């Protein structure tokens, strides 16, 4: 189904953004969907700016269309080459977004890596704070 995801130096991050259960608007309030779209647009713009950094390298299959992220409802998929500079760029943009909006990544967010050595894999896990997902093919197919 997604045969190219297993080739060397690929990285996919699957993370969910959520609203805390504290004060503020909740599901069912008519303006909530509009506010969510506005806030996600801010995140999308921050990630696009991060992808323009000299340290950022696109996922090889996403380079031709300059794709660094996809949003599906409250799910966020980040795509980049599996190197520290690229991941750091995306994480910095996401951290800035979190500081501005108080929205955070779900504690069960996953990073899916393929074709990299264990040392780099461990470093990227530390850099993101995310859990390692299953193999690239089974996670991506199960998600999609």
Q: Over range 115-121, report the average pLDDT.
A: 91
Highest mean pLDDT among 5-14, 79-88, 133-142: 79-88
Q: Encode pLDDT of 39-62 as tens digits.
A: 889 999 999 999 999 999 999 999
The predicted model scores a pTM of 0.72
| pLDDT per residue as tens digits for the range 68-106 | 999 887 788 999 999 999 999 999 999 999 999 888 888
Interatomic CA distance for residues 88 and 84, integer angstroms? 6
């Amino acid at each position: 189904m997604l045969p190219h995801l297993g080739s060397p130096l690929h990285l996919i991050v699957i993370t969910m953004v959520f609203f805390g259960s504290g004060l503020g608007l909740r599901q069912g309030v008519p303006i909530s969907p509009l506010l969510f779209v506005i806030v996600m647009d801010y995140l999308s713009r921050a990630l696009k700016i991060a992808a323009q950094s000299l340290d950022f390298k696109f996922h090889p299959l996403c380079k031709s269309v300059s794709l660094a992220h996809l949003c599906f409802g409250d799910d966020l998929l980040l795509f980049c080459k599996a190197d520290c500079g690229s991941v750091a760029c995306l994480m910095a943009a996401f951290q800035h977004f979190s500081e501005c909006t108080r929205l955070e990544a779900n504690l069960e967010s996953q990073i899916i890596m393929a074709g990299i050595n264990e040392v780099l894999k461990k470093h990227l896990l530390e850099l993101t704070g995310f859990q390692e997902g299953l193999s690239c093919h089974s996670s991506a197919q199960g998600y999609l």
